Amino acid sequence: MISVNQASVAFGTQPLFSDATFKVSTGQRVALVGGNGAGKSTLLQLVLGLREPDVGTVSRPRDMRIGWLPQDVVDAVGESATVLEHVLEGASHVQELEAKLRRLEQELETAPESEHERLLNAYSSTQDAFEQFGGYELESEAQRVLAGLGFAPDDGARPTSELSGGWRVRVALARLLLAKPDLLVLDEPTNHLDLGTIAWLEQTLKELPGSLLFVSHDRDFIDAVADIIVEVAAGTTTSYDVRRGTVAAELGGFQAFIEQRETRLTQLRAARAQQDRVIAQQERFIERFRYKASKAKQVQSRIKKLDKVDRIEVPDHKALVARFGFPEPARAGRVVAKVEGLTVRYGDLTVLEDVDLAVERGRKVALIGPNGAGKTTLLRALVDEVPIAAGTVELGANVEVGLVDQHQAEVMDLTKTVLAEFQTVLTDKHRTQNHRTMLGAFGFPGDLAERRVSELSGGERTRLGLAKVMASPVNLLLLDEPTNHLDLASRDVLEDALQAYPGTVILITHDRHVIRSVADAIVEVGHGTATWYDGSYEELQERRGDVPGTAAGAAPQRPADQRSGSRPVGADGSARGGKGGKRADAEQRNARYQATKDLRREVSRLETELGKVEKDVAYLNHQLADPGIYEDGQKVKGLVERHGAAKDRSAELLAAWESAQSRLDEAEAGLEVG
């Protein structure tokens, strides 16, 4: 068992946390949660012995074997060994036992008979230990772990120098899992894993023989793995028991944590209110009799008592939340993005082949699939950032795109302040807005806007990247792993904002909670294809009959794989094959187009006119929101009249558009039946 007891850490005069207390007992799985900058990584350093607390103690057994996966593990993997060799080195204690067995065998061959009994006893005890640690199955176990993490059988012979950063993280994780340490410490282990691999890792960690301490912002992962959740907030730690089988955990471990925390906060608020009443009563007595000689002794006694009162602090969790917001975007056409026959190759590698996809206005679409399947390629094809071997990509009328990817921080100027970096994307239309207020809405209030970008954490840089993109009103939002490094509170608010976002969203994420909360359609990308499923992530899993360890039925893919010969899939999820089938599809599409051409033109005209009127309404709303305008009564009257006329015209156009769109839908449905 390892325990942290009343530990305090400060950076200079600024305390990070105080009186932090928790333990990890044998066989327990403990999750550390809390906002970015709360001190989770520092607590891990205390546990690992990488630093000592300023006050307090950390107790750990001397012979405890600890395995450690930091966020920046990529460089530690090295480039001199093969994948399998590097993973096997994790079980060095087993390899040492095997080497000892070989030495004893050699000694038995040459030693005099008088030494045989001693050597045989040593050989027997060493062999028992070797078997206990699974020495005879070590290489096959290493291959099993690598397969679970997405590696193909022949990838074990590949040099680690050939692997990307994400795959090196998997190699480091495989090495630790094979080592089976007494305590495994993981810092955000799911950041570089796809859905299928995360599900496999959840099951593997639950079956580990040792203990586990991990930091994660993935609530589904926490829910599946943790027995204890330790929250780092308000400068201290609080532990919550969420073990399966407890009454509180019937709805899931993370929900049990939320309920227990709310109960605790309610009790704290009640105790604080009672304490405030008592203190107020004492202060009134002191104030009333402060200058009365006959009460001087009592007054001094009560002043001393108040000085000794340990004030009850109630953590303000709302202060940890980053608040994302979206300006109202312009109205886009009915089809926001259309892909037909899209094929993308990198050399001999076919990433996407003959993909058809159409995304309509207002949809929230999640792209899922194994790492390397082509999700990011498909997303970047929409903004013309990848070379296309064949096919077309077309954005709809009046579409404005905002892209947030996992490399946003790499294009920032680290020497600039947060405010200066944010202002690089602002235009003249932002002149009337307070830039600091805008940044404050993204979690950078006050002096935080003056910090250097180089001083920001990974989560803070992600929030700054989101702020830069979302400051302008776009109607198509492309998000590639936006939750990487975001804490739980910020993820929750991002989910709420995306649900309320009036535009179209195409999202890549491995956070299942975000997918469930946001997406109303799923596109599964893999083996060169993209398959559209209407409905939620749970509905897709039920439809596919998925089992634990897979993500929407998709098996993990190897680091680099030739994918060819796959059947292209349309936006309706149906497979298409052969040149004859493609020609028939084209002829059918053309017939439908000709039959509904006039209706389409009418819908398009109304959309364009409606967009212009809605811009007028938005402009007039902005004018009427300015307090200074009301000093001129005539101007106000004119604005109100124009605003009313624009609203009426908007309502008329909307009704006409809905009628035209309904007639178009009925016509297309009739052609489909025909």
pLDDT in tens, 216-227: 999 999 999 999
pLDDT in tens, 359-400: 999 999 999 999 889 999 999 999 999 999 999 999 999 999
Query: Is residue 565 a part of any domain in this protein?
Result: yes
Residue 472 CA, distance from chain mean position: 23
The reply to whether 423 and 478 lie within a common domain is yes
Six-digit token pair at 194? 């796809």
Q: Looking at the 3D structure of the chain, how many domains does it have?
A: 3
The reply to whether 551 and 648 lie within a common domain is no
The reply to whether 477 and 613 lie within a common domain is no
Query: Is residue 221 a part of any domain in this protein?
Result: no
User: Looking at 154, 180, 206, which one is the last position of a domain?
Assistant: 180
The reply to whether 506 and 653 lie within a common domain is no
The reply to whether 490 and 412 lie within a common domain is yes
Query: Is residue 131 a part of any domain in this protein?
Result: yes
Query: Is residue 421 a part of any domain in this protein?
Result: yes
User: Looking at 549, 577, 605, which one is the last position of a domain?
Assistant: 577
pTM (two decimals)? 0.72
The reply to whether 498 and 557 lie within a common domain is yes
Residue 668: domain span? 597-673
CA distance 203 to 187: 18
CATH number reported for the structural domain that contains residue 126 in this entry: 3.40.50.300
Query: Is residue 461 a part of any domain in this protein?
Result: yes
The reply to whether 628 and 562 lie within a common domain is no
Query: Is residue 546 a part of any domain in this protein?
Result: yes
Average of pLDDT values for 485-494?
Answer: 80
CATH number reported for the structural domain that contains residue 624 in this entry: 1.10.287
pLDDT > 70? residue 428: no
The reply to whether 86 and 160 lie within a common domain is yes
User: Looking at 180, 205, 232, which one is the last position of a domain?
Assistant: 180
The reply to whether 374 and 465 lie within a common domain is yes
DSSP annotation of 199 reads H
The reply to whether 527 and 612 lie within a common domain is no
- In this predicted structure, which of 429-433, 439-443, 501-505, 586-590 has the lowest mean pLDDT? 586-590
Query: Is residue 271 a part of any domain in this protein?
Result: no
Query: Is residue 374 a part of any domain in this protein?
Result: yes
Q: What DSSP assignment string belongs to 297-329?
A: HHHHHHHHHHHH--PPP---GGGG------PPP
- In this predicted structure, which of 75-79, 139-143, 201-205, 488-492 has the lowest mean pLDDT? 75-79
Closest alpha carbon to 339 in 279, 395, 408: 395
| b (16+ CB within 10 A) / e for 512-523 | bbbbebbbebbb
Instruction: Quickly state the pLDDT bin for 636 (edges 50, 70, 90).
Output: low
The reply to whether 563 and 443 lie within a common domain is yes
The reply to whether 453 and 543 lie within a common domain is yes
